[in-house]
């Protein structure tokens, strides 16, 4: 039996209102639940397991209240722990989450302006909001506030004692940058600045002032939220 026949047989075993394909055709994809959307993407279940049941098991594995968000943090090996998910299905799901991230980022690209913190936050949000650890990104700009380059300068806890202004400005000088922007995430989802965040910002701003390279902003990303130290007037000048 080929895949299309297997899929048709699986769908026929469900009540009409629970068949994702038929429901999508009748009402549109917005009416599908998260599990139904995932069932359509993975197409078939395994022997003895329907695609919809398998999709629900995958969403439960994520451990997040909203199962879809948790999918970003699952590896191929994590997904393969679900009975009925082999390497191919696991790769399909990982590609789906990466595709959604790229769509979100592409949609924000046209509005990106480094003098407007909300556009920076929107552009980088999907890169950072699903990370399980803190990362800090250095963005280097020219006189017209155009991006010359970007570099991850810290992974793990963003701690003032672990981040060296020297390394930051060596990178900035290499790109002939006249200003920089820092951005990092809080895995907790709360972007409120910590004492370490404020100490780091002050040290880097002071070092930049001596070198003639301005710190335009330090933006902290949470879950669909952000704090700009420039907007909060914590970062002045």
Sign of CA dihedral 147, 149, 153, 157: positive
Q: For the chain, what are the domain ranges?
A: 3-105, 112-228
Alpha-carbon 207 to chain mean position: 30
Ranges 101-105, 169-173, 179-183: which has the least confidence: 101-105
Decide: 23 and 36 in contact? Cβ < 8 Å: yes
Decide: 50 and 10 in contact? Cβ < 8 Å: yes
**What digits encode the pLDDT tens for the residues 48-87?**
568 888 888 888 887 766 667 778 778 899 999 988 888 9
**What digits encode the pLDDT tens for the residues 7-18?**
455 555 655 545
> For residue 136, with 0-12 CB atoms within 10 Å meaning exposed, 13-18 middle and 19 or more buried, which class applies?
buried
Distance CA 90, CA 209 (A): 49
Strand partners, 227: 220
Quickly name the fold that domain 112-228 has.
Cytidine Deaminase; domain 2 (3.40.140)
| DSSP helix/strand/coil, 100 | helix
């Amino acid at each position: 039996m080929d895949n299309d026949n297997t899929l048709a047989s699986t769908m026929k075993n469900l009540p009409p209102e629970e068949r994702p394909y038929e429901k999508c055709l009748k009402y549109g994809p917005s009416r599908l639940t998260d599990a139904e959307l995932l069932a359509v993407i993975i197409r078939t279940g395994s022997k003895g397991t329907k695609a919809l049941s398998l999709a629900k098991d995958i969403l439960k594995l994520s451990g997040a209240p909203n199962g879809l968000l948790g999918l970003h943090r699952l590896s191929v090996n994590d997904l393969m722990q679900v009975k009925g998910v082999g390497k191919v299905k696991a790769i399909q799901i990982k590609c789906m989450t990466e595709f959604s991230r790229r769509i979100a980022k592409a949609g924000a690209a046209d509005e990106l302006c480094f003098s407007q913190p909300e556009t920076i936050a929107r552009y980088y949000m999907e890169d950072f909001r699903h990370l399980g650890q803190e990362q800090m990104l250095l963005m280097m700009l020219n006189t017209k506030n155009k991006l010359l380059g970007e570099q991850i300068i810290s992974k793990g806890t963003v701690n003032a004692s672990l981040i060296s202004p020297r390394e930051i400005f060596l990178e900035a000088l290499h790109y002939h940058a006249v200003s920089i922007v820092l951005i990092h995430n809080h895995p907790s989802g709360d972007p409120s600045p910590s004492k370490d965040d404020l100490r780091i910002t002050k040290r880097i701003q002071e070092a930049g002032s001596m070198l003639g390279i301005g710190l335009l902003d330090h933006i902290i990303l949470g879950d669909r939220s952000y704090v700009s130290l420039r907007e909060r007037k914590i970062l002045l000048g």
